[in-house]
Amino acid sequence: MFRYGFFLFAAGIVLNMTGASQAIAAEEVTSVEGITEYQLENGVRVLLFPDPSKPQVTVNMTVFVGSRHEGYGEAGMAHLLEHMLFKGTPTHPNIPKLLQESGASFNGTTWLDRTNYYETLPASPENLSMALKLEADRLINSYVKGEDLESEMSVVRSEFERGENSPSRILGQRVTSAAYEWHNYGQSTIGNRADIERVPVESLRRFYKKYYQPDNVMVIVAGAFDPEFALAEINAHFGGIPRPDRVLEGTYTEEPAQDGERMVTLRRVGDVGLAAALYHISAGAHPDYVAIDVFEHIMTASPSGRLYKGLVESKLAASVSGAAYSLHDPGMLRFMAEASPGVDPRDVLSKMLEIVETAGEDGVTEEEVERAKTYWMKTWEMSFADSSKLAVQLSEWAAQGDWRLMFMYRDRLEAVTPEDVDRAAKKYVRQSNRTAGLFIPTKEPDRVTIPETPDLAEMIGDYKGREAVAMGEAFDVSPENIESRTTRLTLPSGVKAAFLPKKTRGESVVVQVNLRYGNSEALKGLSTACDLLPTLMTRGTKDLSRQQLQDLLNQKKAKLAASGTAGLASFDIQTRKEYLPEVLDVLRQVLREPTLSPDELELIRNKRLTGYEQQLTDPMALAQTALVVATSEKYPRDDVRYAETIEEKIESWKNVSHDDVTKLFNEYLNGTNGEVAIVGDFEISEIQPLVESILTDWTSDIEFSRNPRSGDVDIKGKTEKILTPGKENATYLAGTVFPMKESNPDYIGLMMGNYVLGSSGLSSRLGDRVRQQEGLSYGVGSFMRSSPLDPRTTLMVYAIANPDNMPKVETAIREELELLIDKGVTDEELATAKKGYLEKQLVNRSSDDQLVNLLTNTAYLGRTMEYYSEQEAAIQKLTVDDVNAAVKKRLDLNHYLVIAAGDFDREKSDKAMKKDEPMTTEKETEFKATNSGLKYKIIKEGDGKAPVPANTVVCHYKGWLDNGETFDSSYDRGQPATFPLNGVIRGWTEGLQLIKEGGKIELEIPSDLGYGDRGFPPVIPGGATLHFEVELLEVK
């Protein structure tokens, strides 16, 4: 994630850049559908994409070097340099701090064909200039110091080790390595342990000097900016960098045609069997690629996919996934299935191969192809509608050879036929071209010749594309303007509504509906049914089968997501203005006329049970569950507020019945309590009656009242250890809970103290010491959540690390907590925290997905946006004395419970971590943190395609709050979720880019990367930290 450069060049280059006004102006190369390419005299390529609809700007510097370019002994070097690039330059010594102070959401990622560095900031000439100056500076002036390399190698090693915990990730890597004998696509981007640990700093410097040059970089700017100003700034900061004397040679290794099937068997500690199959395919630029992409969707889509029907619905597998990797050189098509409990993965593999390798001969249908095309076109259009995500996605297309391939993909997709798909399937999906893999426990040569990457200049020519998508308005995201533009009312049914019409890019619109029902007494014993009900409602209606419903949503360029928790059913819609009335009618059918199919319930149950059984040996899941149980109030088992262990969750999901769910729907669910919010391009006069018609005449005799919580829990300060043999990454969690509402005068001060401690990414005290200075953990940080309604505040610190490093991690965390309590924060730290926090709120409010959550949250709490105006004013007035007094009053290390889970040596662990001692013993962790404050633990790295924001991804996931309460789960729904990566909360967008296809990651998302202070009532309280476990099944 980071990189460094030669400090030796600093003096000369900085002078050149500051005097770059003498550089020759950029030359326009081409323009397609609103995106214009320029080139500077020194070779720097530039893409500009103005989009005034959101007050933010994204700068993405893409360097065309990835693991494909690494030589002998250089495995993982591109990725290691990416990390090092965040270590500073003489001009910018503390890059994370600079970006944090500017309110930026930022990251760096490495993949097979490229490395990129990007940041999204509040739109202003100053911020744009700052970002461009920073990227130009670290392109050629970054430090590559031996001492920094020593600390960062430990971080990268920790990142490497986290992937060793995930069978699916390792299986994917092994299968890919076996499939590629010579080409570097068979080499994991993160590298191998030996190269990571032994790389000389001189080698890194040579690699850096070779590739990090102006003739090997593309600068992408998207968002609200003046193109003339941007070009002038790019020319000023990049134009003066001298073009290098060296000639950069392209890679030339070509993977020979495979001459027979290959097989990989992986035997490791785990609970669920896996089966995988990989086939070599053409490069992403080749015309065959689109047909293969369509074929993959026909195989794996849920519920229409042939693999889904043949494996999941038959109960052989709990889930299936797939991906066709679009790469610079000939890539790969991969399928993977997770065996159901008790099923031999060999049987799963056998059935998988039978389905996919006969599909070409049997032929695909017109209906299947049209369904896949509709899905991919919807995905493409949604991703193109978000300029900040598109700015990052363009890295992937450019790395394949030309960014305009993005538009050629769309054009080819529209033209693909069933005959094209059949031809491609017969050509590539063959036994002799297959590498299969299992996680468990031909007579004649039959070779497939992969076509060469086409001549892009000849193929693309003077491609112009189509008319640019309709632009949105330049919307002011201040709380005052949002409130003045919002219409608030109570609908005739009793549901509170908030409507915010505004012009958006692509005429997009988002809808959120929250329905509240029941009470703690009436819902006794129905907690699992509450979790299951909303998902089951989306599995078919009186007039629409599950497949018909999904097809209709795809045709209307719409997404519908549902989630549930005790007493709450939530539904989210994303679509376009022209389709909103029809999509609302689909929602009406889902809410009022669901079939509640028993068969679909069994699919959801099977998937959820598989997920929980995996958690039984997962350090992170075990540690989090133990901490949630310990910090929760002691309710009876049948109370919806009871915190279940993993074993109890398994028992509950085995026992939940169809009668429970139908009882909830028929007797409890109603349209009289809840909230609805709509944000985007729509007319209130047209849409309000449709919303009212959905909720009218829908009542329940069971009174609704919320389920209150208390923070009055007696937490004994001690350390508990959970042993997880065979897991190379360990998890550290330390948490406490106490009675304090969000309205308490201490809240803001304590929140800022926590921001300084561990919620501001690498620039936080924990991030700087534990990761940056000592290199002990890839992810470390802290988070705080206070209820707006109940006297309950949770504070938690987390880290992930090698088990042997846990004592050092615990010591560092304890010392930083003691220092915060004893000495407090400084004036400089508080000023930086205020600026960074408030800037992030601006960025958060620029996302319609987050804005609609904010509006439902305010409606639920009886607030207006004036609350946030007042809160931000109070933060501005906050003093160091206020913060330090709140910290000293509220933080007590004698009431912090520490949970460490990992494969600890018993003798060593007992010496380092003595039980029942209050936060004075060694602890184990495995979480890491990014610059933005996102915390994550890579359970499995994956060996497939690395996603970028412009990609569409297919994921299975589970989300829970600090108290362990699950608020959403695709496992419960029994089918993975598919969405544009740039269309979700920022924590997901950033987090999923840390793994590859086949990977699995656990995320801890601070509120500013999630739903912010407004939350997502009633499921997610304002300011909530979100926890997710995500399996990245496919990148499209």
Q: How far is CA 36 from CA 47, 220, 383, 432, in A?
A: 6, 10, 18, 44
Catalytic residue among 968, 972, 1008, 1013: 968
C-alpha dihedral sign at 1010, 1012, 1016, 1018: positive
Angle at 166 between CA 162 and CA 168, to 5 degrees: 140
Q: Is 772 exposed, middle or buried (0-12, 13-18, 19+ CB in 10 A)?
A: buried
1020 counts as catalytic: no
**Is residue 275 within 8 Å of 349, Cβ to Cβ?**
yes
CA neighbor of 116 nearest in space, from 8, 216, 42? 216
Q: How, if at all, do strands 262-267 and 434-440 pair?
A: parallel
Residues of the chain with pLDDT under 70: 1-25, 161, 163-165, 441-449, 905-926, 931, 1018
344 counts as catalytic: no
Q: Take residue 874 and report the two structure tokens written for it.
A: 């109070």
968 counts as catalytic: yes
Q: Take residue 555 and report the two structure tokens written for it.
A: 């045709």
Output the pLDDT for position 445.
Answer: 46
Residue type, 9: F
Q: How far is CA 373 from the centre of its chain?
A: 25
1028 counts as catalytic: yes
Torsion angle (degrees, nearest 10) of CA 400, 405, 410, 412: -90
Query: What is the spatial distance between Cα 87 and Cα 84, in angstroms, rounded to a whole number?
Result: 5
* Domains of the chain, residue spans: 7-238, 262-447, 479-695
Torsion angle (degrees, nearest 10) of CA 696, 671, 535, 510: 80
The CATH T-level fold of domain 479-695 is Cytochrome Bc1 Complex; Chain A, domain 1 (3.30.830)
CA neighbor of 610 nearest in space, from 347, 350, 342? 342
Query: What is the spatial distance between Cα 1001 and Cα 662, in angstroms, rounded to a whole number?
Result: 34
Catalytic residue among 140, 875, 985, 1020: 985
To which CATH superfamily is domain 262-447 assigned? Metalloenzyme, LuxS/M16 peptidase-like (3.30.830.10)
Indicate if 479-695 has the same CATH topology as 7-238. Answer: yes
49 counts as catalytic: no
Report pTM: 0.73
Question: Within a 13 Å sphere around the CA of 63, how many CA atoms are in the beta-carbon half?
Answer: 31
Output the pLDDT for position 248.
Answer: 86
Output the pLDDT for position 1023.
Answer: 82
Output the pLDDT for position 441.
Answer: 61
User: Going by C-beta distance under 8 Å and a sequence separation of 6 or more, which residues neighbour residue 403?
Assistant: 35, 37, 47, 218, 394, 397
Catalytic residue among 325, 407, 837, 1028: 1028
CA neighbor of 332 nearest in space, from 443, 184, 439? 184
CA neighbor of 39 nearest in space, from 456, 328, 403, 391? 403
DSSP 743: T
Backbone angles phi, psi at 574, to 5 degrees: -130, 130
362 counts as catalytic: no
Query: What is the spatial distance between Cα 867 and Cα 863, in angstroms, rounded to a whole number?
Result: 7
Catalytic residue among 1011, 1013, 1016, 1020: 1011
Catalytic residue among 308, 747, 967, 979: 967
Give pLDDT tens digits for 410-430: 999 999 999 999 999 999 999
Domain 7-238 classified CATH 3.30.830.10? yes
Output the pLDDT for position 705.
Answer: 94
Q: Take residue 50 and report the two structure tokens written for it.
A: 């103005």
DSSP 1030: E
Output the pLDDT for position 1020.
Answer: 83
Q: Take residue 370 and report the two structure tokens written for it.
A: 């049209």
Query: What is the spatial distance between Cα 568 and Cα 673, in angstroms, rounded to a whole number?
Result: 10
